[in-house]
Structure 1
Amino acid sequence: MVKAASLGARHGGEAIKAYRLVNSKFPPVALFEDVANADEFDLLYEIQALTNPRLQNEVGSLNLISRSEIPFGIKGCSYATAPFTHVNPSGSRFSDGSFGILYLADTMETAIAEVRHHQQAYWSKVHGLNYERFVFKGLVCQFDEAGMLDATRLPLSHAIYAPDDYTYSRALGADVRNSKAPGLRYHSVRAAGNTCWALTTPRHVASIIQSSHYEMVWSNQITSVHKLLAGA
């Protein structure tokens, strides 16, 4: 089993541009955007909690991430933080569901390929779903690779890249997190030849801004993906 210590760390220093696709029904949380530091956040959270019963659902489980890890003051702080406070209990490639991961891709096409695969797997289990449209928003992220471990030195045939068996990749993800490394660079499994990142903390993110919206059309399977025009 590959260990985090055996993977070389990236030097960083230059801003990396990457992409992400998220469900459009989840808007950014203004509370993260309205403050510049952890003290302001805690104070505003306490005030808003008195009048907003939905606040905890919107912000997520704050006990899952240290305040020092949240990049307050950046554009799109809520987009950077959301994967760590709204953790998928079913897990993902590099997480067993007990902690969050911010997944990014080198192109929007790579991000679409990754999300399309998982949407296909999920909705194919829903009985009677004959036709539906799913809308996603594209995000553009700037972040620093410094200190991130490099799993692209491993071949795509390695066990951490198994298409649907996450046993080895989750063990590596836990080891990366426990080693306090900020993330992992790895090969995209759904878009061969491309690159993805699994960030174990949002603190290296400089900005995440919304770009275009995309529609996935389901007709007994995902038949197409369209970029939506502004106002569509």
Structure 2
Amino acid sequence: MSSRFPPRTLFERVTDPADLEAVFEVESLTNDRLRDEVGDLGRVPPAERMVGDGSTPIMAAFTHVSPAGSRFSDGTFGVFYAAADRTTAVRETVYHRERFLVESRQPPMMLEMREYRVAISGVLTDLRDRPATDSLLSPDSYQASQPFARRQRQNDALGIVYPSVRNPGGQCVAAFRTLPLSPAVQCGHLGYVWNGHEITEVITLGESGITPRD
């Protein structure tokens, strides 16, 4: 997750999910930025709202939805994406960040990213036996995967586990609901070095400076 997003929000300050809407309405009276920070709370059913430590990265994935969509969202609902290992997570996010930076013609910079660990449990739709040529795993098109995901979600699927498209041998999860997810624990801080054309390096950011990654 990009470090430009607050690490702790209203979700962390509330102890009972039933109080979220009331606290949100009160605090938004004096905090104009709160609505942008929290996103569209109505996208998450009351019974599935997560609060407390580690809830912000989870809830943000469902309350902040990109109209452009993603592999397993057509832009009308949120999805929490995760990878089974760090290498896969980095390669997936590097690809998508690089694509955005190219399209928006951003100047050279270093993107600061937070690394989180989340436990995932539950029965997910399993695509791991699909061949790499399957249209649901197309590296360039979401034409097949988006309507497939919409149908899965409408049928109350918790999410999808699938082979990484950006890191052969890696595995990823797309969760449609908060239910299979544990609170997130931050476990690292990374820097993606963008030279104006591509991301050339991923480095570990520490308290005492910058440590090159393997």
The answer to whether the superposition gives a TM-score over 0.5 is yes
Q: Structure 1: which 5+ runs fail to align?
A: 1-21
Q: 1:134-213, aligned counterparts within 5 Å? A: 134-144=111-121, 146-213=122-189
Q: Does 2:26 align with 1:47?
A: yes
Superposed CA deviations along residues 98-128 of structure 1, whole A, max 9, x for unmatched, are 110000001111111001111111111234x
For 2:94, the aligned partner's letter is R
* Distance in 2 (alpha carbons) for counterparts of 1:215 and 1:156: 30
Superposed CA deviations along residues 10-37 of structure 1, whole A, max 9, x for unmatched, are xxxxxxxxxxxx1001013432112232
Please point out which of 68, 74, 78 is paired with 1:90.
68
CA drift at 1:130: 4.6
Using the size of structure 2 for normalisation, the TM-score is: 0.92
* Distance in 2 (alpha carbons) for counterparts of 1:105 and 1:210: 15
Q: 1:210-229, aligned counterparts within 5 Å? A: 210-219=186-195, 220-229=197-206
* Distance in 2 (alpha carbons) for counterparts of 1:121 and 1:47: 39
Aligned residues of 2:84 and 2:170 also touching (Cα < 8 A) = yes
* Distance in 2 (alpha carbons) for counterparts of 1:97 and 1:130: 27
Superposed CA deviations along residues 127-167 of structure 1, whole A, max 9, x for unmatched, are 4x4521111110111121x1211111212221101101101
* Distance in 1 (alpha carbons) for counterparts of 2:164 and 2:104: 26
CA drift at 1:215: 0.8
Aligned residues of 1:141 and 1:209 also touching (Cα < 8 A) = yes
Q: Hey, what does 2:13 align to over in structure 1?
A: 34
Q: Secondary structure at the match of 1:155?
A: coil
Q: Structure 2: which 5+ runs fail to align?
A: 210-214
Please point out which of 58, 61, 65 is paired with 1:80.
58
Fraction of identical pairs, as percent: 32
* Distance in 2 (alpha carbons) for counterparts of 1:76 and 1:181: 23
* Distance in 1 (alpha carbons) for counterparts of 2:82 and 2:208: 26
CA drift at 1:209: 1.1
* Distance in 1 (alpha carbons) for counterparts of 2:208 and 2:89: 22
Please point out which of 113, 132, 148 is paired with 2:109.
132
| Superposition RMSD in Å | 1.5
Aligned residues of 1:71 and 1:205 also touching (Cα < 8 A) = no
* Distance in 2 (alpha carbons) for counterparts of 1:43 and 1:130: 42
CA drift at 1:231: 5.3
For 1:230, the aligned partner's letter is E
